Structure 1
Amino acid sequence: MNKAITDGVVFMPPPFEAGLDMWSSGDGVPGSDSYDGAINAAFVPIDQDFGGALELIKTETLQKLRYMGQTPILPGCYLQVRVRAKAMSGNLPSLRIAAWAGGAGGVHVAGLVETGPQVSLSAYGEVVELSAIIGPGQRNGVDMAWGTAPVYAHVGLDLTGPNGGILRIDDIEIEDVTQVFLRDMLGMVDVRDFGAMGDGVSDDSAAFEAADAAANGREVLVSAGSYFLGDSVTFQSRVRFEGTLTMPEDKILGLTKNFDLPTYVDAFGDDEELAFKKAFQALLNTAGHNELDLGGRLIGVRAPIDLQGALANRTFFNQRRVIRNGQFSVYPGSAWDTEVVTSQASYSPNDPKRLTGVQNVANVPVGSLIEGNGVGREVYVRDRNIAAQTLDLSAPLYDADGTQVFTFRRFKYILDFSGFSDLGRFHLADIELQCSGECSGILLPPQGSVFALRDCFITRPKDRGITSHGEGCQGMLVDRCQFLSDESPLPATERKTIAINTNANDVKLRNNRAVHFRHFAVIGGSSSIISGNHWFQGDTLQNSPRVGGLVLTRINNRGTIDGNYIDNNFIEWVNEHDQAPEFASEFSFSQLSITDNTFIVSHVAPWFNWLVIKPMGPGHFVNGLTVTGNAFRVIGDEIDRVEKVDTSFADLDYNRFYNVTFRDNTFNNVAKPVASPVVIEHTEASPSQAWDVNAAGKLPFDAWAQVVESVIAEGPVRNASGAVHYGAPYYLAKQGPNNDRITLRWEEPVEGTVMIKLRIDDPF
């Protein structure tokens, strides 16, 4: 780049022979005194060294020589000022290149270096050459770094030292030497060429913006140095960092052409955690990108990442954003320690999702797990009101009416979204959270929809993989993810980690794999789809108890559990998130479909079951349950049955079962395969008018024989005389002490064999 050549810019001042009226003894500004007619200045037309030259007698302590014309100072342009001089007689002065910096409107730009290196004349007749470079950037070799504020200069010399000396000065030359400083003339601009200081103190924001504006498709180089940006900066050009940045937390660095974590890491000096926070900040504050590529980087994390705190300027966001392709790994330390607080509080079923009168409420962190008498699993603090001394809960408590001391445990998460009031359509893809047994994985926002994880790993969480402490799990999608426990060596009953909990509706867990957790998922909402997953929770002990792999706490479930591999654990359906656990006016345990799953268990006690319904209060019943096409297999000694009702708190009302289908399943090493409707072959060996048909052990949940769908004779039914009887019987349901028998009554005593199809429910 040479502006004199490419743009015809005139930098060179006129020679002295053109007249001294353009040369000032002051700063060169309009109205300053010139050397034209001065008694101490004259033009010498012939000099053996210079040809024509200006002869000056030094009469002032600081004697100035300035060109009164305006030498342009252009962004990105570097000018070298050169002059030769010699002493003729008298005292020997010192010389230096000097200039006056002029800004817009002719004002002086103060605070700049306006002189070059000083040279002393040491002998008469000896020609000395002086030079200095003026330019916008603080570069090696630049004597006067002016930034972009000056737009012109009055260039010349300063004479210092003793007065009385006579010297001659050759014509002053000014040359564009920008090419000396530019690394790639065609493809790059450097922020230093636009006034960036790179001293870590000066605010270089304007210089960065100016460099980006001038790039015009070229790459912007942030050359070596430490740059402070006091304001937000957005690059519309590609940018490469050799130097590093510091910025206030609330200021945003936008990189529109190379928006990826490796570039932010370069920008912030290999501090991956800070770089990620600034990149996340830009992701939610710029419209040019909806995806942050971590570039396969491993991000070392020393403390929980408060995502809303990193964003700083908003708590609500509901546009699709994706973070993908990287790892987060924690450094051990006290920052991951669980906060444990105990506090007395009161609970009333009339206000089912709130604790009142909470002592020291300010000490209870939002997102804390609540423990206490009558508190179900996975109930969290959703919000708090310090002034009112209340805590809002993620779910009701089933039996905590009154006042008690609760324990609050605030786990620490690598990615903590709890500071958002609402965050929707946020996705993580191809991400691994390496918790290393030090911390938990993800704390969701308290509200939001369609949070998604795809092809992610949550490895060795200390307490939880994914936690929902509100409704930020609404419509959540978790697909093809792996959840690997830190508790594999422990017996199943001693494990405490949980891979996922949810509270809201429409959650989809599909094609995931979870290994050795206390529970794979605690699902508190309805309309969930649990499909194609493999979760296994066995241990090496023989005949040891197993725990629930999938815990459903919504009784009106409307859920689908399909095509899963359920290994050494069971499905538990419970109403522990019910403020009135006894049946009231709800639908009770209803609308759940369990189809085409593979159930397997090894070396367990005979009372193990794969499907457990646990009512927390009386009066409940099953009102819509489909269990079809499943394969149940036991390795080792057989178990009694695959299903049961846990009556620790209450039993079901079997008289109110509706729409229960339990059929087309296969059973291996199960003593009592069950079905509803079930087909029973009954033979009456001698004529009888009342046939007692026993369905004990054949009906799901040991429920009641309520409805006979059909009775078909297998061959002739004969009366006492041996004649064929053509009449049909009627039936009496719910017979016997356990209501698991029916009675067929004929119009006369008969004998024979019939196929009876009966149900435990009213299908209509």
Structure 2
Amino acid sequence: MNKAITDGVQLMPPVFDTGLDVWSSGNGTPGSDTYQGAVNAALVPADQDFGGCLELQKTNGVQKLRYMGETPLLPGCYLQIKARIKAIAGNLPSVRIAGWAGGAGGNHVNGLTEVGTTVTLESYGKIVEVTAIVGPGARGGVDLPWGTQALYGHFGLDLTGPNGGIVRIDDLQIEDVTGVFLRDMINVVDVRDFGAVGDGATDCSAAFEATDQAAEGRKILVPAGVYSLSNSVSLKSPVEFEGTVTMPSNKVFILAKSFDLPSYIAAFGDEELAFTKAFQALLNNSDHESLDMCGRKVTVTRPIDMQAAVPNKITYATRRVIRNGQFTATGAAVWDTQSVTARATYSASDPRKLTNVANIANIAVGSLVEGNGVGREIYVRSKNIGAAEIVLNAPLYDAEGTQNFTFTDFKYMLDFSGFGSLSQFAMSDIEFQCNKLCSGIRLAPSGLTFQLRDCFISRPKDRGVTSIGTGCQGILIDRCQFLSSEESLDVPDRTTVAINVNANDPKLRNNRATRFKHFALLGGANSVVLGNHFFQGDDVTAGVRTAGLIIANNFTNATITGNYIDNCTVEWTNERDPTPDFNNGFSFSAMSITDNIMLCGDVAPWFSFIVLKPHGTGHFLNGVTISGNKFRSVNGTIDRVERVDTSFADLDFSRSKHVTFEANTFHSIREQAFNPLRVRHSESTNASNWIIGVNGELPFGGQIRGVDSIVALGKISNASSDANFSRPYALTQQGGNKDKIKLVWNEPVRGDIVVTVRMDL
């Protein structure tokens, strides 16, 4: 490139043949002496090597030759001054390119290097070429770095060394060589300069690594083309992709300075592939704790096997986060649910295993298990084809013996089940658009503290978040929305479940779920369910309702507080107990249901907000607090807010202890429940034995096991209308349902009293 052509700037000095009056023997500044008429300078019209040239005899210690024209120095522009010279006679001098730096107002810019490298002429007739580059920056190869104050220069050469020698000098050349420095100037390093070939076949791994080393923080350019990388590549410099890369699935591509999903999409040209490669890099890179999707949408055309994306990792336990994006499912047959029916044997002595499983090779790990005596959300955690055995995520309550089981493999958008263990993994601010085609997330079989926060799982076909083992230990689900694909269906026709948890310590906080069959099944202990809104109604008059929250563990240590429980039930069951009859332990224990809003509308009168469902005999309440809740029914009255589902067994109310049911409010509830319960009784005729009932107001239809107080409301009169100041004694658990007390007086009396009774001790 020559500025004389590109910008209309004259760089080249005139040839010597046009006259020596513009060639100075000084600095080239106005008024300096020229070689016009000088005795030591002459024009040679036809030199055999140079054609027209200048013949010059050295007569001064530094014999200067300067073009008197002002050669402009433009910002960002680098010029090369070139001279060809040969000795003719006399002493052999040395030669160098030289110049004079001119600034504003024609003033000299001091302090600059104004001479190039000196070259000694060693023989007569031998042509020597001397060059120097002048420009604003002190870059490699720049001989005269003049900065930005020098606006022009008077360029030429110097002869140094002994006097008396005669030389011939070809016409001086000044050219724009900015292109040599263009890569440095625009802060870009091109992978092609290091051997990369974008033909889709040549291995460019080494070329990419070499480019990164040379870049030293500058941007790497991957031009148009397809660049094959046969090995793992890690680039520490920022990268701009015009072309794409391709590499084996087991090789890692790390973009340390461009670590976000848009960069990987630019690199691989395919959203799904880019996401899996970025996830692979996330788990193989210590420089980043999170993958930012930067708001990008990834169209998912098939289930993404997250472990297959990272084939060198079976377990992972370092905090990692994927955030800020959207996954959208598309396609058809690839999402179809697969079901297998197979005969297998179950024994409560080995409660998490099926043995002698027929057709086991066709049963997928992670499949839902259904059959007689099988509880809800039972999954295949692992299988041993050789032994024909399946390990389950939880025991079965009544499946002893051999039967046919159905194994249903739902398809999940993101499937982590291939990991043996995955801990401390989080997903934040992501929408999973399942579009009724697929389920959302399947967790690893084991692991700790998986976290889902500020996410949407929209319209899953079958499940929102599924745990097939203990990968849900300590799971944190916060401020998420679960939007059902079954909103238009009546409650009995729904099959979807938003969340299931098998292990201990889950935290479900401030989530919202709409019209699933169940919001969550929690099979572990120490659960915290706080501030959620889940609703499951329909438009059917006097319609039925399903459980919104299922606690599938009798000793639960659960806290259910501050939720909005709308047209659904909190169901407490022991359906994962392989020997459901009570024989030892704490039974239905350690439950706190407090300060919730519980609303139903247009439901069957037998609907209740809190349902206990024992799967074996002998169970009892042991440490239960239900208080501060707001119970309300609209468009109809319900019988009571709590009940026992006796489909399998009833509770043993003779063993109830530490039950608190108080400070609740009831609207359109026919029978309100309290414990302790204050009962007002009026005996209008004289009697020694007063029978006092509670009219079903003890929780769950419990028995009277204690009397806290007996207070007379006015005079207790005997047959003579005299006051009776004696105290009666109380006999509890009277009547067929043991929900009455008998007060025994020392004589027949009448009057009004308030009795405080309890169903527990």
- Normalising by the smaller structure, the TM-score range is 0.7 to 0.9
Q: In 2, Cα distance between the equivalents of 1:49 and 1:411?
A: 87
What is the CA deviation profile of residues 336-371 of structure 1, one whole-angstrom value per residue up to 9, with x for unaligned ones? 111111111100000000000011211111000001
- 1:337 and 2:314 correspond: no
Post-superposition shift, 1:613? Answer: 0.7
Please list, as runs of the form range in 1=range in 2, the aligned pairs for 1:428-443 lying within 5 A after superposition.
Answer: 428-443=427-442
Match of 1:731 in 2: 730
Please list, as runs of the form range in 1=range in 2, the aligned pairs for 1:198-597 lying within 5 A after superposition.
Answer: 198-269=198-269, 271-597=270-596
* 1:336–1:187 distance in 2 versus 1, CA, 3 Å: same
Q: In 1, Cα distance between the equivalents of 2:184 and 2:333?
A: 49
Number of matched pairs? 603
Aligned residue identity for 1:46: Q
TM-score (norm 1): 0.77
SS, match of residue 275 in structure 1: helix
Please list, as runs of the form range in 1=range in 2, the aligned pairs for 1:49-88 lying within 5 A after superposition.
Answer: none
Aligned residue identity for 1:189: V
* 1:48–1:282 distance in 2 versus 1, CA, 3 Å: closer
Q: In 1, Cα distance between the equivalents of 2:480 and 2:756?
A: 43
Match of 2:193 in 1: 193
* 1:202–1:725 distance in 2 versus 1, CA, 3 Å: same
Aligned residue identity for 1:389: A
CA contact (8 A) 1:434 1:458 kept: yes
* 1:222–1:603 distance in 2 versus 1, CA, 3 Å: same
Aligned residue identity for 2:320: R
Q: In 2, Cα distance between the equivalents of 1:268 and 1:737?
A: 76
Aligned residue identity for 1:665: N
SS, match of residue 273 in structure 2: helix
Match of 2:129 in 1: none
Moved more, 372-381 or 202-211: 202-211
Post-superposition shift, 1:193? Answer: 1.6
Post-superposition shift, 1:326? Answer: 0.2
Aligned residue identity for 1:745: V
Moved more, 230-239 or 306-315: 230-239
Post-superposition shift, 1:318? Answer: 0.5
Post-superposition shift, 1:551? Answer: 1.0
SS, match of residue 179 in structure 1: helix
CA contact (8 A) 1:336 1:439 kept: yes
SS, match of residue 309 in structure 2: helix
- 1:620 and 2:624 correspond: no
Q: In 2, Cα distance between the equivalents of 1:48 and 1:297?
A: 65
* 1:176–1:402 distance in 2 versus 1, CA, 3 Å: farther
What is the CA deviation profile of residues 575-618 of structure 1, one whole-angstrom value per residue up to 9, with x for unaligned ones? 11110111121311111110000111111111111111111111
Match of 2:649 in 1: 650
SS, match of residue 541 in structure 1: coil
Post-superposition shift, 1:411? Answer: 0.3
Q: In 1, Cα distance between the equivalents of 2:374 and 2:182?
A: 69
CA contact (8 A) 1:537 1:549 kept: yes
Post-superposition shift, 1:686? Answer: 2.5
Q: In 2, Cα distance between the equivalents of 1:353 and 1:49?
A: 100
What is the CA deviation profile of residues 215-246 of structure 1, one whole-angstrom value per residue up to 9, with x for unaligned ones? 22211221222111111111111111111100
Q: In 1, Cα distance between the equivalents of 2:474 and 2:220?
A: 42
Moved more, 635-644 or 685-694: 685-694
SS, match of residue 334 in structure 2: helix
Match of 1:749 in 2: 748
Aligned residue identity for 1:355: L
Q: In 1, Cα distance between the equivalents of 2:683 and 2:317?
A: 69
Runs of 5+ consecutive residues of structure 1 not aligned to the other structure: 2-43, 52-79, 83-169
Q: In 1, Cα distance between the equivalents of 2:177 and 2:209?
A: 24
What is the CA deviation profile of residues 682-713 of structure 1, one whole-angstrom value per residue up to 9, with x for unaligned ones? 12223222111111221111111111111112
* Equivalent of residue 46 in structure 1, options 38, 44, 48: 48
Q: In 2, Cα distance between the equivalents of 1:233 and 1:239?
A: 13
Q: In 2, Cα distance between the equivalents of 1:626 and 1:50?
A: 110
Aligned residue identity for 2:491: A
Post-superposition shift, 1:458? Answer: 0.2
Post-superposition shift, 1:202? Answer: 1.2
Q: In 1, Cα distance between the equivalents of 2:366 and 2:49?
A: 88
Q: In 1, Cα distance between the equivalents of 2:713 and 2:593?
A: 33
Match of 1:688 in 2: 687
Aligned residue identity for 1:218: R
Aligned residue identity for 2:417: S
Q: In 1, Cα distance between the equivalents of 2:753 and 2:726?
A: 13
What is the CA deviation profile of residues 17-56 of structure 1, one whole-angstrom value per residue up to 9, with x for unaligned ones? xxxxxxxxxxxxxxxxxxxxxxxxxxx99357699xxxxx
Please list, as runs of the form range in 1=range in 2, the aligned pairs for 1:12-27 lying within 5 A after superposition.
Answer: none
Match of 2:16 in 1: none
Aligned residue identity for 2:747: E
SS, match of residue 651 in structure 2: coil
SS, match of residue 308 in structure 1: coil
Post-superposition shift, 1:716? Answer: 2.8
TM-score (norm 2): 0.77
Post-superposition shift, 1:473? Answer: 0.4
Match of 1:64 in 2: none
Aligned residue identity for 1:668: H
Q: In 2, Cα distance between the equivalents of 1:221 and 1:754?
A: 91
Q: In 1, Cα distance between the equivalents of 2:177 and 2:356?
A: 76
Q: In 1, Cα distance between the equivalents of 2:715 and 2:453?
A: 62
SS, match of residue 311 in structure 1: coil
SS, match of residue 448 in structure 1: strand
Moved more, 441-450 or 742-751: 742-751
Q: In 1, Cα distance between the equivalents of 2:669 and 2:448?
A: 42
CA contact (8 A) 1:599 1:630 kept: yes
SS, match of residue 687 in structure 2: strand
What is the CA deviation profile of residues 49-68 of structure 1, one whole-angstrom value per residue up to 9, with x for unaligned ones? 699xxxxxxxxxxxxxxxxx
What is the CA deviation profile of residues 221-278 of structure 1, one whole-angstrom value per residue up to 9, with x for unaligned ones? 2122211111111111111111110011011111111210001111111x11101001
Match of 1:179 in 2: 179
What is the CA deviation profile of residues 77-121 of structure 1, one whole-angstrom value per residue up to 9, with x for unaligned ones? xxx9x9xxxxxxxxxxxxxxxxxxxxxxxxxxxxxxxxxxxxxxx
SS, match of residue 309 in structure 1: coil
CA contact (8 A) 1:182 1:190 kept: no
Post-superposition shift, 1:754? Answer: 1.4
CA contact (8 A) 1:179 1:185 kept: no
SS, match of residue 307 in structure 2: helix
CA contact (8 A) 1:182 1:189 kept: no
Aligned residue identity for 1:416: D
**Who wins on radius of gyration, i.e. which is larger?**
2
Match of 1:602 in 2: 601
Post-superposition shift, 1:178? Answer: 8.2
Q: In 2, Cα distance between the equivalents of 1:651 and 1:178?
A: 91
Post-superposition shift, 1:738? Answer: 1.3
Q: In 1, Cα distance between the equivalents of 2:182 and 2:381?
A: 57
SS, match of residue 426 in structure 2: strand
Match of 2:128 in 1: none
| Poorly superposed stretches of 4+, deviation over 6 Å | 175-178
Post-superposition shift, 1:200? Answer: 1.4
Q: In 2, Cα distance between the equivalents of 1:281 and 1:348?
A: 41
Aligned residue identity for 2:265: V
Identical columns (%): 55
Q: In 2, Cα distance between the equivalents of 1:47 and 1:516?
A: 95
Q: In 1, Cα distance between the equivalents of 2:575 and 2:638?
A: 27
Q: In 1, Cα distance between the equivalents of 2:611 and 2:707?
A: 26
Post-superposition shift, 1:181? Answer: 8.4
Q: In 1, Cα distance between the equivalents of 2:385 and 2:176?
A: 67
